[in-house]
Structures are given as structure tokens and as C-alpha cells.
Chains A and B, each alone.
Chain A
Amino acid sequence: MEITKEKLLDFYNTMVTIRSFEEKAVELFAAGFLPGFVHLYLGEEAVATGVCANLTDKDFITSTHRGHGHMIAKGGKIDLMMAELFGKATGYCKGKGGSMHIADVGLGILGANGIVGAGQPIATGAAFACKYKQTGAVVVCFFGDGASNRGTFHESLNMASIFKLPVVFVCENNMYGISNNQKDHMNIGDISDRAAAYGIPGVTVDGNDVIAVHEAASEAIKRARNGDGPSIIECKTWRHRGHFEGDPSVYKDPREQESWLKKDPILNLEKRLGELKFASASDLDQIKAAAREKIDSAVEFAKKSPEPSPDDLLTDIYAS
């Protein structure tokens, strides 16, 4: 498939924006600015970026507890995300959701989700709506290796398959369900194998190679859009940080961590951009600096934003 210089630089920009956002979150969490839990996407940037580059605003995604990357890649507004992490009234959810519930329904982002595997039936339903209304839209359901063990996975894939729904199930296999290594939580090595049980295609790609992810997603999404039904794309990747901030990751072998850090998706892409002469080191530095600046201004926005009023406690429970 054709990938232009512009597109590749766009990928890079998205990936470094996600990275800068997450690195800032590490810093802010450690400094005590962020209440609650944050689950960071560091190391998995290529997946959200490569997949969402195939989507338009009318398409939907469902995300996970590790959702900041999906949000940014699907076009979410960074100011509103950051304000939500701070729990401010100006945040995406007016401070009522926090990191794990950021959503932008207008952009087709049906929310991060605090329940592992809960996005799968929701994505199935959104795809049902796309097919029912014949909008030509598709849905991408992001989920992890751990979520593929939930009953929701089975029920959703089965339903999506028999109804031939326009949904692509993108598994971000970072090899760990919290602390539990994949080999200890499932008796298969590749989650794409599970596709066979639902009579749908399943492929495995290098989740740290944004081009490979993008290409596979492009084909799967095209297929879904054409009415040929769901598929699974398993992206093998690695989370650089613990399950949540504060998790010391004692369950991970440091040598394994080291070898994955060498396969960092952003380093990968930088190398490619350089080889192709699409960008010089200083071009890349410029993009990174611009991303950091965007994040800094989001932090500024969040810090300056008002706290929610206790009077708002009981609003937004029901729609009128």
C-alpha cells in the first residue's frame, strides 16, 4: 500500500504527542497532581496511531483503561484530556470520569473503560448501529491480551461474526494481564488463533511497527466497510511502565524489558524516517518540541481550570 512522506510524518507526530502526554502524566502523577489511577500507553503508541489513521470522525472506537493513546490518535482534544486527568470542570467529563472514562462521543470515541473487556460488546453494538443505519462507518475495538479471556470477548466476537458487523477487534498484546504473563493466563501463544473459533480472519503483526499495524488495519477496516464482517488483528507490543503508575513491575524480567526498549516504536519510526530521508534529526526534534509544547499548554490549561462545583454532583445522571 502507498504510504506517503506526509502520512509517515503524521504518524510520527501522533506517536510523539502520545508519548509526551504520557511522559507528562508520569511526572504529574509523581508530583501528586493527578488523583486516582493512571494506566499509561508508553511503548504501545504504534498501535493506536497505525489503526486510527484509517478512521474518520464518523467511525467509532471503544478504548480501554489504557486509553490515552487511542483518544489522541482518534483526534481527542489534549486540553480537555489533561483537564480531565486533573479532575477539573473543564475536562472531557467535567471531572466526573477521570483517566479511565475519557470519551468524545461526537468524535466516535465511546469511551475508555474501567472494566477489562467491557468495550467488546459496546463496539459490537456500535457496529450493529452502523450496519442498521447503513452509515458506512466502522468500529474498532481496542482490547488487551487479558481482555481476550473475558466472556465478553466470546459473546461479542460470536455475535459480530454471525451478524457480519463492521467491527475490527484490535488486540494490543503487551504480554501481561496486570502481573500475569500471557503464558500463565492462556494456553495459546497468538491471540489471532482465536479467530478460527468465530470463523473470521485473524492476523498477528508487529505492534511496534506502525507501518505494519497501519497496513493490516487498513485491510481489515476496508473489509469491514465493504460488509465482509469482523476480524482480529493482534499487535504484539510492550508496555514500558507498570500496569498503573506506582506498579514497580517486579513480575517482569529486566532483560526482557531491555530488549523491548530497543524495539521502541518511536525509535523504529525515527530510524525509518532517517533512512528514507523524510526527516532530519533536527526535523524530528522540532516535531518533538512542538508536541511537548502542546502538552505543556494543556497542563497550563488544566492547572488554570476551575475545580468542579459540589453543586454539579447530581447533574448528568439522567438525560432529559
Chain B
Amino acid sequence: MKKMTYAEAERDGIRLEMLRDPNVYLAGEDVGIFGGCFGQTTGLFQEFGPQRVVDTPISETAIVGHAVGAAAAGLRPVVEIMFIDFMGVCMDEVLNQAAKMRYMFGGKAALPMVIRTPCGAGVGAAAQHSQSLEALFTHIPGIKVVMPSTPADAKGLMAGAIRDNNPVIYIEHKVLLGVQGDVPEGEYIVPLGKADIKRVGSDATIVAWSGMVPKALAAADILAKEGISAEVVDPRTLNPLDKDTLMNSVAKTGRLVIVHEATKTGGFAGEIAAIVADEGFDLLNAPIKRITAPDCPVPFSPILEKAFLPSEEKIVRAVKELF
């Protein structure tokens, strides 16, 4: 184990895959000498050179679109879209090309490609640089969506995403990038579609991912002091979703609170709630609760931004309401 930040761990994951497979390369805006907007790719340009760490023009459509062509022609691109908010610019390439090529071609193409992109509010970046848009992508069959919450997962899921033979959207949380944690050294892979129980508990299940995991864990600490044992389940991959881990936890606790930073309506919490209501109604002792951002653009003012974001207090309150 080694202490690393989330960004360093993610980079370690990319680096090891690049060393392992010459077909893996990195491309995006300012990923080269600049090292990425948040330093995620620092040093890779110096290590691998301009052929494998490719600075692109500000052309999101061509960044993702070229990755589709390069993957179809045998490479394993890892491309960066600087903010998830910019995915709107290249949506056709994600929605109609990357996601559908294999199916449309009757299974005769594979697109091993990763789109890395930072999400999340909390840094005063306002409405066009702060969103959590994972639900847009979980609604598209043909792509996978991963959202690590810890440095170790950031590394392991990156390796898992790069080795996957499908388009994967790897969503990293801006606020987590600087968070430190223990990370396994050398090759470390977290398989896609495998949830992780971040805290074992028996009275209520809190499902949270990405930036909400630390808040869920903090809420569980508070709840523990009040005598409620909360289990924190981090799905890590939203598509494919590890339903077994989720249902097992709900079977054990009988109570479910789902937390995400994305806005409420059409959010992925609704999907999880529907699955549990549908397939595990009998397991529930209380209604399912969702703690999410309100249906509102991300505001700029720190006061408003704080009001927008889900907090541990809101999570604690929601869990307590179930008893």
C-alpha cells in the first residue's frame, strides 16, 4: 500500500496500462505538457512522449469521435473531456456512435475506449462546470459508467475500464481528486460491475457513489453515535449495476436511503429505488428515501452552492425518518 491522492492513483492506473499495452494512449485538451486541468496527467507526457499523450484542439466532437474510429481500428484510447458538462458538445459521438456501433454491426465491432471526465460541484465553478450527469449516460445502452470514490478505486477502476472491451465513461469527482488514501502498488484492477461495501452496518443501507461516499460515511459516523448502524454501499459502477450486493444489503437492513449529487428528477437514485421496489418490496420496512441536489442548475455563490449540495446532516435526517 502507498499513500496517494485520488488523482495520482488514477494516473498510476493509466500509466501502468500504458506500460503494459502499447495500444493504450491518452488524448484530450491540455493533457500533455500542461498535465490536465487538475493535474491528473502530470508527467505522462514526459514519460510517454507526444505520440502517446496527445494534446488535441478544443474539439470535443473530434476527441470522442476520433476515439471511436481509433478503437474500431484496434487502439485503446483513453480520452479526456475536461468537464463532464462539455459532454453535450460530443453527445452524438457517445450516444449514436460509441454506444451503438457494436449492436448496429451485429456484434462485429468492439470499441475498447475510455472517456475520462470530471464531475461535481463544491469548487465554485457554477452551472457549466459542476454538474453530475451520470444519469444521462446510464440511460444509454452500450456504454458503461464508472464513478470511483476513493484513491484505490480510482486506480483499480481505471485499469478495469481500460481493459474493458466497451466504451466506458469514467467519471472522476473534482473535489475528490486531492483526497489521499491507501492504494495498492503495482497492478491493481477493480472489475467493472462490482459494488463495494464501504462500511458494514445492520439497520439501514445508504447507497452513495463518487463525491457522496465520504458524506455518507460521515453521516454513518453520526448515526452510529445515536445507535443506528448504517451500511454504506458504493456501487462504483452504475452500469452495469451490482444488484446482488445492493439487494443483499437491503435484505439485511430493510431500509434504503440513496444519495447522489446529481439533481433529483430522472436521477439514478430513482432507478435504484425502482429496482428495489420492484424486486425487493418485501425486504423493505420503510419507504425508500432519496437525498439529492434539487432540480436546479449549480449556483456560483458558495452559500448557494452549499445549499444546493446534499450534506451529511440531510443524510442523517433522512435515515432517522425511516425509524
Interface residues of A in 119-172 (CB under 8 A from B): 120-130, 132-133, 139, 151-152, 155-156, 158-159, 162-163
Cβ of B67: which chain A residues have Cβ within 8 Å of it? 125
- Is residue A242 within 8 Å, beta carbon to beta carbon, of the partner chain? no
B72 with A105: CB separation less than 8 A: yes
Chain B, interface size category, equals 35 or more
Q: Give the complex CA separation of A94 and B74 in angstroms.
A: 23
Interchain CB contact under 8 A, A121 and B142:
no
Task: Give the contacting residue for B65; candidates A93, A130, A156, A315; CB below 8 A.
Answer: A156
Stretch in contact with the other chain, from A108-116, A176-184, A282-290:
A108-116
**0/1 string, B26-63, CB within 8 A of A gives 1:** 00000000000000000000000001001011010110
Q: Across the interface, which residues of B come within 8 angstroms of A128, CB to CB? A: 66, 69-70, 75
Residues of A within 8 A of B23 (CB): 133
Residues of B near A111 (CB, < 8 A) are 101, 104-105, 109
Chain B: CB-nearest residue to A96: B106
Determine the distance from Cα of A295 to Cα of B274 in the docked complex, in whole angstroms: 51
Q: A92-B106, A105-B105, A122-B68 are in contact. Are A129 and B96 (CB under 8 A)?
A: no
* B306: A residues at CB distance < 8 A: none
User: Shortest beta-carbon distance, A70 to chain B, in Å?
Assistant: 15
Q: Does chain B have a CB within 8 A of A225? A: no
Are A129 and B75 neighbours in the complex by a CB distance under 8 Å? yes
Point out which of B73, B74, B97, B108 has the most chain A C-beta atoms below 10 A from its C-beta. Answer: B73
- Chain B residues 91 to 143 lying within 8 A of chain A, measured CB to CB, are 92-93, 96-97, 101-112, 141-142
Minimum C-beta distance from B110 to chain A (A): 4
Bound complex: CA A233 to CA B155 (Å): 45
Chain A residues near B71 (CB-CB < 8 A): 125
| B54, B70, B102 pick with most chain A CB within 10 angstroms | B70
Q: Nearest chain-A residue to B96 (Cβ)?
A: A115
Q: Is there a chain A Cβ closer than 8 Å to B202's Cβ?
A: no
Contact at B108–A158, with CB atoms within 8 Å? no
Greatest chain B CB density within 10 A among A101, A132, A318 is at: A318
For A, the interface residue count at a CB cutoff of 8 angstroms equals 48
Decide: A121 and B104 in contact? CB cutoff 8 A.
no
Q: Does B170 contact A (CB under 8 A)?
A: no
| A93 and B73 within 8 A (CB) | no
Confirm or deny: A62 has a beta carbon within 8 angstroms of a beta carbon on chain B.
yes
Kindly provide the distance from the CB of B69 to the nearest chain A CB, expressed in whole angstroms. Answer: 3
B99 vs chain A, min Cβ distance (A): 9
User: For residue B245, which residues in chain A have a CB less than 8 angstroms away from its CB?
Assistant: none
Cβ of B308: which chain A residues have Cβ within 8 Å of it?
Answer: none
- B180 at the A/B interface (Cβ < 8 Å)? no
> Is B65 within 8 A of A152, CB to CB?
yes
Contacts of B105 in A (CB 8 A): 92-93, 96-97, 101, 103, 105, 111
- Cβ-based interface call for A317 (8 A): yes
**Chain B residue at minimal CB-CB distance from A101:** B104
A interface list, Cβ under 8 A from B = 60, 62, 91-97, 101, 103-106, 110-111, 113-115, 118, 120-130, 132-133, 139, 151-152, 155-156, 158-159, 162-163, 315-320
B residues adjacent to A (C-beta < 8 A): 23, 25, 51, 54, 56-57, 59, 61-62, 64-75, 77, 92-93, 96-97, 101-112, 141-142, 144, 165-166
6 new A-B contacts at CB < 8 Å, known A96-B106, A110-B73: A95-B106, A118-B92, A121-B64, A127-B69, A155-B61, A316-B103
> Which are the 3 A-B pairs with shortest beta-carbon distances?
A121-B65, A125-B69, A316-B107
